[in-house]
Structure 1
């Protein structure tokens, strides 16, 4: 045993070096495996991002198309309702003896020179007179029709739909 001690004293740095090399080799393999795992995870993450971006782009395009279709349908319904309401208003104005337009005015707000200075009302008033110009009546009709169309559109947004 005494002969082994001098050899151990002389070889211990080499044994420590071999042990250090074995540990380095072990951790190198482990580091490479972790690096490969992280690279694979990064590739999966990138693929998931691309898939999500593609799905988002597709869904956004679908919703924008649906919104354009809904807007066109709302505009069509509004135009139809406006035409119907203007016809009803014109019939009402004709039935109740309203004039076609108010007196013309210039930029200063004074009456134009060549106009009729009459009162603008028929000789006989209907039983329930309405004293408003037909143009104003049409403007109010357009505003109310637009408000109703906007309300219907807003209510339609809250309605669940199969393709929304």
Structure 2
């Protein structure tokens, strides 16, 4: 009897089942939509709290970078100042060394005159008692002094980086 009723009214029963299924689906969709809205509101509230914290962290990071750069620039300026003072002192000391250890140039008669004569024997006018020594030009002595000063100041700068980094 029920089977005959179902077979006779299958279109109507199928429509009712489809309507019930649609009602259930819409109910779950409304629930999902409401849950999504609540979750969205919660995330917006969290984002509203996170954004100022991110801005504060960015500002602190920029300040830390600026402070570190200022420390390194100060160290570099100190190193430049020390180098300039060291070069001035080295130049003065080198000039004194050159003046104190100058090789007297002999004139044709054997007396020191300050100028080197052109001699036929290939001698550069260096006195005989210094013939076993090397003679270096004043500019070369200054260049060596400058290079040594530069190297020492660069070493001091590099060793000072450890204290600046902390």
State the TM-score, normalized to the length of structure 2: 0.65
Residue 47 of structure 1 deviates from its aligned partner by 3.6
Segments of 4+ moved more than 2 angstroms: 9-25, 37-53, 115-121, 123-130
Mapped contact 1:96–1:129 kept (Cα < 8 A):
no
Relative to structure 1, the CA distance from residue 63 to residue 19 in structure 2 (aligned partners, 3 Å threshold; closer, same or farther) is: same
Gaps of 5+ in 1: 1-8, 100-114
- For residue 137 of structure 1, what is the aligned residue in structure 2? 141
Mapped contact 1:81–1:145 kept (Cα < 8 A):
yes
Residue 116 of structure 1 deviates from its aligned partner by 5.7
- RMSD of aligned alpha carbons: 3.4
Greater fraction of residues in helix: 2
Distance 2:125 2:88 in 1: 27
State the TM-score, normalized to the length of structure 1: 0.65
- For residue 102 of structure 1, what is the aligned residue in structure 2? none
- For residue 56 of structure 1, what is the aligned residue in structure 2? 61
Number of aligned pairs?
A: 140
Mapped contact 1:85–1:141 kept (Cα < 8 A):
yes
- For residue 160 of structure 1, what is the aligned residue in structure 2? 163
Distance 1:50 1:98 in 2: 71
Gaps of 5+ in 2: 1-12, 105-114, 119-123
Larger radius of gyration: 2
- For residue 75 of structure 1, what is the aligned residue in structure 2? 80
